[in-house]
Amino acid sequence: MGKKLYVGNLNYNTMEDSLREHFEAFGRVESARIITDRDTGYSKGFGFVEMGTEAEAQAAIAGTNGQELDGRMLKVNEAMDKPREDRGGREGGNRNRNSYSYRY
């Protein structure tokens, strides 16, 4: 498994193919994904590129961070794992006003 990079400040018209091509200059691209709004399908202006090796990822960061793609200066760094959000489980969903939930 390769190293995942965060790519920010993307032009809203940038396509995944051009993102992939831009990063292929630095090594093997495992995947390139632009994040879109679930309701509209439009780009949110950021994405993720997974490079084949750590060395390729570091070369891609050095070679693309602050560089222009489709008229925008890219912000590229190592992607962080998104922390899992605690959604409350059983205790948070009880909407019945006549019942009580106690924590022991």
Strand partners, 46: 8
Select from 2.60.120.10, 3.60.15.10, 3.30.70.330, 1.20.1300.10 the CATH code of 12-78.
3.30.70.330
Determine contact, residues 59/26, Cβ cutoff 8 Å. Answer: yes
Which residue from 75, 71, 65 is spatially nearest to 26, judged by alpha carbons? 65
pLDDT at 78: 97
Determine contact, residues 27/2, Cβ cutoff 8 Å. Answer: no
Number of Cβ atoms within 10 Å of the Cβ of 34: 19
User: pTM value?
Assistant: 0.77
Indicate if the pLDDT at residue 14 is higher than 70.
yes
Per-residue DSSP letters for 28-61? -EEEEEEEE-TTT--EEEEEEEEESSHHHHHHHH
The whole-number average pLDDT for the span 49-70 is: 97
